[in-house]
Amino acid sequence: MVKEFGVDVKAAIGRAVVGRDAELEALLVGLLAEGHLLLEGPPGTAKTLLVRSLAALCGVTFRRVQFTPDLMPSDVIGTNVFEPQNGTFRLAKGPVFSDFLLADEVNRAPAKTQAALLESMEERRVTLDGVSHQLPEIFTVFATMNPIEFEGTFPLPEAQLDRFLLKIPMPELSGDAELEVLARYARGEDPWKLSSGQAGGQALVLISPAGLVELRAEARRVAVEDSVQRYLLEIVRQTRVHPGAAFGASTRAAVALLRASRALAALHGRAFAIPDDVKFLAPFALAHRVVVRPEAMIDNLDGRLIVQQILDRVPVPRVAG
C-alpha cells in the first residue's frame, strides 16, 4: 500500500515539479516516518510548490506562514481573545492548528518566534496560558529556508535543527531539467494547478488523513535486523569522532535515521530495511545535526561532506534476503 502511494505521488508531482526525484523521495520518507522536514535552497527552486502539491494530493488541511523579522509567536500558535459579551476567553487558533504547516523562510524570523514552533513539533501540542491544546494526529511542519549567506537570514539554533527529521537541500536545477521547465511553460502548462488540488479540471486527492495514518503504521512495521542497526549506529558514532566535527549526531539522530530507513523500505515495497536505505538517508538525517569546527569550515568542510566521508569508510554489512 505504501509503495503504491509513493508511485502515485511521484507520478502526479512529476507533472508539476521537474528534476527533484531524490528530494521528493526524502520528502515522502519524512512524511511516512512522522517527522518534520526542512528544505534549504535559494528562492525559485520549487520548495513551496513541492510542499503545496504534496498537501493537495493528501487531502489535508494546509496552512502557510511567511516568516518575517516582525512575526510574533502568537501569529504562529494563536492566542486567547477576551469576549466582552460573556466575559470569557476564546482560543483564536493560529495556523499551527492544521495537518500540514508550511513555515516559509523560517530562518528570517527572530529566535523567539522560531522557538514557538518547538513544543508543537516535538509534542504535537500547544500550550497557551497554561492550557495544552492537542494538534492534529498527522501534524507535520514543512519548513523552508534560504542559505544563511542570503541577506536577512539567521542560522537556526541546534535545538531547533534537531527537531527536523530530515534536512533536504534544494540546489539549482541541472541544465536539462531547467530547459524542461521552460518547455512546459512554453506549452502553456501551469504547475500550480496541482498545488491547488486541480489538474486538467479534475480533483487530485490520492489519500485521506486517516489513510495517511494507516500508511505510517505500515512503515513502522518494517523490520530492521541487527546488522543494519549496528551499521547505522556506527555511522552516527563516527560523526562524534570525525576531526572536522565539534559535535556529532546524538542518539535521537540515530532513532531518526532508523525511522526514516523503515519508511524508505516501505516506499520500495520491502518488509525490511537494507544498508542502502541507511546510506541514502544518512546525509539527509545527520548532516544538519553535525556542528562543524570553524577551522574545518575554512577548508570548505560541512556536515554533508563529513557524513559522506564516513559513509565511504564504514564497512557495509551483508543482509540476507
**Residue 191 and residue 17 in contact, taking contact as beta carbons nearer than 8 Å:** yes
Q: Which three cell numbers stand for residue 58?
A: 493528501
Is 80 inside a domain boundary? yes
Q: Which three cell numbers stand for residue 200?
A: 486538467
DSSP 91: E
Do 44 and 154 lie in one domain? The reply is yes
Boundary-marking domain end, from 209, 233, 252: 209
Q: For residue 20, with 0-12 CB atoms within 10 Å meaning exposed, 13-18 middle and 19 or more buried, which class applies?
A: buried
Find the domain containing 309 and state its range. 221-313
Do 19 and 111 lie in one domain? The reply is yes
Radius of gyration of the chain (CA): 20
pLDDT at 197: 57
Tell me, what CATH number does 75's domain have? 3.40.50.300
Residue 284 to residue 311: CA distance in whole angstroms: 13
Is 216 inside a domain boundary? no
pLDDT at 65: 93
**Residue 44 and residue 63 in contact, taking contact as beta carbons nearer than 8 Å:** no
pLDDT at 195: 62
Residue 199 to residue 192: CA distance in whole angstroms: 9
Nearest to 285 by CA among 257, 312, 259, 245: 257
Do 201 and 291 lie in one domain? The reply is no
Do 195 and 257 lie in one domain? The reply is no
Do 37 and 168 lie in one domain? The reply is yes
Is 321 inside a domain boundary? no
Boundary-marking domain end, from 162, 186, 209: 209
Residue 61 to residue 74: CA distance in whole angstroms: 20
pLDDT at 218: 97
Do 61 and 147 lie in one domain? The reply is yes
Locus of grid cell 545535526? 289
Do 69 and 111 lie in one domain? The reply is yes
Tell me, what CATH number does 292's domain have? 1.10.8.80
Is 319 inside a domain boundary? no
Do 91 and 135 lie in one domain? The reply is yes
Boundary-marking domain end, from 183, 209, 235: 209
Q: Enumerate residue ranges in the chain where pLDDT < 70.
A: 148-152, 194-203, 320-321
Do 151 and 192 lie in one domain? The reply is yes
Do 28 and 126 lie in one domain? The reply is yes
Is 2 inside a domain boundary? no
- Structurally, the chain folds into a number of domains equal to 2
Is 1 inside a domain boundary? no
Q: Which three cell numbers stand for residue 182?
A: 521552460
Do 115 and 31 lie in one domain? The reply is yes
Nearest to 140 by CA among 71, 63, 84: 63
- With a CB cutoff of 8 Å and minimum separation 6, the contacts of 250 are 162, 289
Total-model pTM: 0.91
Q: Which three cell numbers stand for residue 193?
A: 494547478
Q: For residue 187, with 0-12 CB atoms within 10 Å meaning exposed, 13-18 middle and 19 or more buried, which class applies?
A: exposed
Please name the amino acid found at residue 12. Answer: A
Do 242 and 128 lie in one domain? The reply is no
First and final C-alpha spacing in the chain: 21
Number of CB atoms found within 10 A of residue 252's CB:
13
